A and B are shown apart, each in its own frame.
Chain A
Amino acid sequence: MYGEEPLFGLLNRIGTPVESHRPWPRYRLGRDGWLRLIEELAGNGWSLLGLWGEPKAVHAAFREDFSGDVAVVSLDCPQGRFPSLSAVRPAANRLERAAHDLYGLVAERTTDPRPWLDHDAWGVRRPLSEQPAAPVPSPGPYTFLPVEGEGLHQIPVGPVHAGIIEPGHFRFTANGETVVRLEERLGYVHRGVEGLMQGRPVAEAARLAARISGDATVAHSLAFARAVEAALGIEVPARAVWLRALMAELERVANHLGDIGAICNDAAFAFMLAQTSQLRERVLRTADACFGHRLMMDRVIPGGVATDLPERGAGLLRDLVAELRKRFPPLVAIYDGKASLQDRTVTTGFVSAELVTRFGAGGHVGRASGRDQDSRRSPGYAPYDELTFEVPVLTEGDVNARVWVRIREVEQSLSLIEQIVVRLPAISRGLDHPSVPVEAGRGGEGMALVESFRGEIMTWVRLDGEGAVARCHPRDPSWFQWPLLEAAIGGNIVADFPLCNKSFNCSYAGHDL
């Protein structure tokens, strides 16, 4: 099924490469080419990496997973219409609906034309198009998918949830205790990030990128910075490259520790959360001592990093790794040994390998269902090519598998932190902090793939000649994971939803933008 035709082979025939798009090529297609691409996509396994709009154009990014080849395709749509990819790549549907709500682009023959981000509350329609429209005078309610059957009832949940979590609406249809269908409605935390980035100088847009999703602030900052650096052809100092990886791994460890505890807490095993939240706090305090911010927000900037590791940093990090290596394994043993806990997590919230592949889902969601993908390894970026690490992959696809992938990733990240700390002293310090200036006055297009704790982030950016952001699309991994949560809960009891949800831990803010 894979690779009947190499990605570039097809695109070179049906499209024309665009200049100054780095590091991977972008092809401009005609409408015929776009339709030909849809035909090909029906028969091959290229992963959709993203789909985003502009006032009169639509772009999509793909990867041929075996070779790691990545390409962007673009279609000018002067009439504001383009043939939908949703029939051949179901993950495209919500992205197309978002492009419609923001840019007014209509996806022809889409599988689902309902609005997505636009809740009729902005006071304007298609706000980022060339001609924003007046709001609908008296908007009707959102239409949920129809559900019919004997003995079914619905449970609406949210947008304000019972816990301290982000807002979103879940519409459960249940038969007794068993969930027959879950339908998500998101967009409540849409803050207009893409619109706010437009026309901003790179440094200001970077601060917005850092706030796309607070728990993955380092990863989103890194994706934005690398996309900008690719567009401008900037090489960042070696020390910055290593410090970035250090921050990214600290962020990964902190989030996994918090989530492992929270998953157990949702199975009424509060002990684990009490323990892992202490470990998480330990990581955040070390991050604070090393980089001056507990979440390391605004520390990765285009051109490098905003702060270097203090002299005592290496010692603090070594102590952290040693302490976590001592305190984490006994907790893992407890998780593995508690039958009452295993009873809740094993076989719960199953997602098939076929589904994660079809949606191109990454992170622990994909890797717990057999999709062996990690952008640190493929396409790969510095300094991970010089580091030794494994990408844990399981095939069970249940809550338990997602917990184990996270446990193994904590172990791998601790090893990575240790390796980085060993290598850092050999990489010379700059005078102040390791970064190079991001020069204004040059334009270009760039993209980057970065592995956050949640999965792969794809950020695409176009800079204008003044050094400001003309268009930026940060695609959070949650876009391809949220739809699978709907599948995961099917056939499970309502009470297991928090467990399934936490084992995914999709971002609302990162998705809604």
Chain B
Amino acid sequence: MTLREVFEPLRSRDELAFVPYQTAGFPTLADSLANLRTLADCGADMLEVGVPFSDPMADGPTIQASSQVALEQGVRLADVLAGMRGLDVRCPRVMMSYLNPLMRYGREKLLADMQAAGVCGLIVPDLPLEEADAWLVAARARGISLVFLVAPTSTDERIARVAELTDGFIYAVSLTGTTGARRHLPPGLPAFLERIRAITDQPVVVGFGIGAPEHVRALRGKADGVVVASRIIDAIRGGEDWVELAKDLKAATRA
């Protein structure tokens, strides 16, 4: 299933894609893979898997700490790819990491191994479109979508350029800030999403700070999907009933 095929049926049903995130290796690699399978069973439309990096500058405390836990256990990119290969879920998987560990692994080898593992998208927060030419060409050759982020500070021109280069979805960063659960949606978010929608019809998935079913409900009709990351990791760490939370989040994507 390609990323595109996720959004078309959901759009026709006025439903958001639910995209939960897990840091690979938190609390252990085996646990994170099992949790991804559980999240797929809870109705995830796509899974986002974070490959830990020692210096995650776009991430807030929750994902920093979960990455640290993974790195302390020696979880490596090769282990994550092997785990993804064995992950028997039907929904598409995308991977997120920072540029340095990806470059170190090697661009061609990474994309080949992602393809073999059935990972169809790649999110790299420190790879802006000006620096992404070689990655775009190589990813396309493997049928892998390079996912660009747009932020409230992005100009209309840049959003249009991202839309042109997008063959999966656009990741809309909900606010100026790092990742991490927040109580309320940013007040400027609806206007930001309208601004994107006026520029492009590409699927738009919103992330950063989204964690409650009412957040998700408020975004219906304004976007194509939501990423929920830190909130689920906080729930796992805090011993909350995160499976119930995931089910509630998915339920909130539907009418």
State whether these chains interact.
no
- A residues with a Cβ closer than 8 A to B are none
